[in-house]
């Protein structure tokens, strides 16, 4: 890749994959590779792609290769929604492969990103035998749209721009498509924020690279992976928990348990995991809400006729409009007479 790149060391970006049609990719699970929709033709059986894993030098004989069996192409690609992503299923897992977690929140769609690939090293140049890496700056949607007429139809919710805006000189290029754009998350681990998608030439001033906005499609990617029999690594989650018991009065006022979140930059995830453990002799009596730091309330569970005891569930909340840091509250109310219980513990995973 890249105009302006330097060689990456073997093992530096262990989840990087080279695909035989001339694209990049990243290990989503041991048997699934995340790439770009425009790198593949359609959803369906496909045994024509070879994935190369585990090397920086494509000629390194220690490389691991796998043939594809199936391709899932984003159904929203080439629609107004956008979504230049696809998943390739390998014939067998690469056991022990390093996986790159995908961003489930827009919190990391900012700052400086790293890109890597074996694509062209200059516009119209040839592909690279060695994996190259570079750093590119986040460019906001409005600046990107106005950078050059080429970018006028940017889809802000589906695409992220990055590059060296005024000077150019650093960019992904043909053959890098499908590869990841990534950065460090709140706990210092790599997280994938983009997929190399397109651009006007390569590394020209005022012509940034355009990347699939991974956080927007995280839920769809996870669902597609599940349908293909895989579970992507969750981003290295920070867990915030309260294990103090709180009694729930019978048909009484709501009670609260607090969890204070700190050190998480930006907003909460679009799939915030809320783990709840409540001991109660009749779970249908209980109504549960999550209250965000600003007081916004998300209903987790309504009352019902269910006589099943206890609640032991992880709820998923789209909390992407909430700032992560602050005091979150679990609000629990028993709304029917007879039967009581207590909040045993609950936790938020960011
Ligand atoms: N579409 C290209 C590919 O198939 C990637 C182009 C990226 N271009 C850029 N200027 N960043 O490899």
pLDDT of 120-131, one tens digit each? 999 999 999 999
Number of H helices, E strands in the chain: 2, 23
d(CA 210, CA 207): 9
For the segment 238-270, what is each residue's pLDDT rounded down to a tens digit?
Answer: 788 999 999 999 999 999 999 999 877 678 877
Classified by CATH at the fold level, domain 239-349 comes out as Jelly Rolls (2.60.120)
Cβ atoms of 258 and 242 closer than 8 Å = yes
Model pLDDT, residue 184: 87
Give domain limits for the chain.
Answer: 6-228, 239-349
Q: Is the CB of 179 under 6 A from ligand 1?
A: no
d(CA 236, CA 186): 9
Cα 264 to the center of its chain, rounded Å: 16
Model pLDDT, residue 66: 98
Contact (Cβ atoms closer than 8 angstroms) between residue 104 and residue 270: yes
Q: Which residue has the tokens 């900012």?
A: 110
List, for residues 180-201, the tens digit of each pLDDT value. Answer: 999 988 666 899 999 999 999 9
Report, as residue numbers or ranges, the catalytic residues: 38, 84, 177
- Ligand 1 atom closest to the Cα of residue 176 is 12
Residues of the chain with pLDDT under 70: 1, 186-188, 234-237, 265
Residues pairing with 86 in the sheet: 35, 73
Task: Single out the residue of 258, 249, 143 nearest to residue 206, CA to CA.
Answer: 143
In CATH, the number for domain 6-228 is: 2.40.10.10
Select from 18, 86, 162, 172 the residue to mutate for testing ligand 1; criterion: most ligand atoms less than 8 Å from CB: 172
In this prediction the pTM is 0.72
224: helix, coil or strand? helix
Q: Do domains 6-228 and 239-349 have the same CATH topology?
A: no
């Amino acid at each position: 890749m890249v105009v302006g790149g330097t060689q990456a060391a073997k093992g530096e970006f262990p989840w990087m994959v080279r695909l035989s049609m001339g694209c990049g990719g990243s290990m989503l699970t041991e048997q699934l590779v995340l790439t770009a929709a425009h790198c593949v033709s359609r959803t369906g059986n496909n045994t024509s792609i070879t994935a190369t894993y585990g090397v920086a030098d494509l000629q390194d004989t220690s490389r691991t290769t796998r043939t594809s069996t199936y391709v899932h192409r984003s159904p929203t690609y080439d629609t107004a929604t956008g979504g230049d992503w696809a998943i390739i299923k390998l014939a067998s897992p690469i056991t022990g492969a390093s996986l790159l977690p995908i961003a489930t929140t827009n919190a990391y769609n900012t700052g400086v990103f790293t890109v890597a690939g074996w694509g062209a090293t200059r516009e119209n140049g040839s592909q690279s035998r060695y994996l190259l890496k570079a750093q590119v700056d986040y460019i906001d949607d409005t600046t990107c749209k106005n950078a050059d007429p080429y970018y006028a139809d940017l889809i802000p919710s589906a695409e992220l721009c990055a590059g060296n805006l005024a000077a150019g000189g650093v960019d992904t290029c043909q053959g890098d498509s499908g590869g990841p754009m990534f950065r460090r998350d709140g706990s210092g681990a790599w997280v994938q924020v983009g997929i190399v998608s397109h651009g006007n030439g390569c590394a020209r001033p005022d012509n940034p690279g355009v990347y699939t906005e991974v956080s927007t499609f995280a839920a769809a990617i996870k669902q597609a992976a599940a349908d293909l029999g895989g579970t992507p690594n969750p981003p290295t989650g920070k867990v915030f928990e309260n294990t103090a018991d709180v009694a729930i009065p019978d048909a009484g006022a709501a009670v609260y348990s607090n969890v204070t979140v700190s050190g998480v930059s930006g907003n909460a995830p679009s799939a915030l995991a809320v783990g709840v453990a409540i001991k109660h002799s009749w779970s249908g009596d209980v109504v549960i809400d999550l209250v965000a730091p600003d007081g916004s309330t998300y209903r987790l569970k309504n009352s019902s006729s269910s006589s099943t005891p206890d609640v032991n569930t992880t709820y998923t909340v789209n909390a992407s409009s909430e700032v992560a840091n602050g005091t979150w509250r679990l609000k629990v109310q028993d709304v029917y007479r007879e039967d009581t219980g207590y909040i045993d513990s609950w936790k938020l995973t960011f």
